[in-house]
Amino acid sequence: MKLRNTAAAALAAFALALSLPGSALAATGHFSYKYVTDLGHEETVVLTDPHSGKCINLRGVGSDDLQPGYGPHNRTDTPVIVYKGANCTGSEYRLRANGNPARDDLLVRSVKFEAAAR
């Protein structure tokens, strides 16, 4: 009987540990890009600890009706794919984790950070 209770408790603890969200769901660090506003001012946007494994349309440039952003810089611990189109479509380019800034001619509207392996 004690063995059965111990096994049940261990199984419940394991299930609870699997259900808890972990840092694998987000990249750690900063991702930035630049864009020109409707008034002609250059702005820099910074995403802090962005979600991994899902498409992110970027603020100010995340629609195909807007001018794209440019010069992305991935300072997170996770590689990212940047897309020229909204909704992670169009030309794509992979930026390594903690990399150097990309050139200003690399255009971006959406990004997807790679999901960490468990």
Q: How far apart are CA 38 and CA 34, in angstroms?
A: 13
**CA 79, 85, 103, 58 torsion-angle sign:** negative
Residue 11 lies in a domain: no
pLDDT above 70 covers what percent of the chain?
Answer: 77
User: For the chain, what is the domain count?
Assistant: 1
Work out the average pLDDT over 35-59. 96
Residue 29 near residue 23 (C-beta atoms within 8 A): no
Q: How far apart are CA 75 and CA 32, in angstroms?
A: 8
List, in order, residues 6 or more apart from 82 with CB less than 8 Å away.
Answer: 72, 92, 93, 94, 95, 102, 106, 108, 110, 111
Residue 98 near residue 29 (C-beta atoms within 8 A): yes
Work out the average pLDDT over 12-30. 61
Work out the average pLDDT over 8-28. 55
Residue 118 lies in a domain: no
Query: Could you give the C-alpha distances from 42 to 1, 14, 58, 70, 71, in angstroms and in order?
Result: 69, 50, 15, 10, 12
Residue 53 lies in a domain: yes
Residue 10 lies in a domain: no
Q: Which structural domain, as residue segments, surrounds residue 44?
A: 23-113
| Domain at 87, CATH number | 2.60.20.10
Tell me the pLDDT tens digit for each residue of 59-104: 999 998 999 999 999 999 999 999 999 999 999 999 999 999 999 9
Instruction: Inform me whether the pLDDT recorded for 19 exceeds 70.
Output: no
State the pLDDT at residue 52: 95
Tokens 């840092």: give the residue: 23
Residue 15 lies in a domain: no
Residue 30 lies in a domain: yes
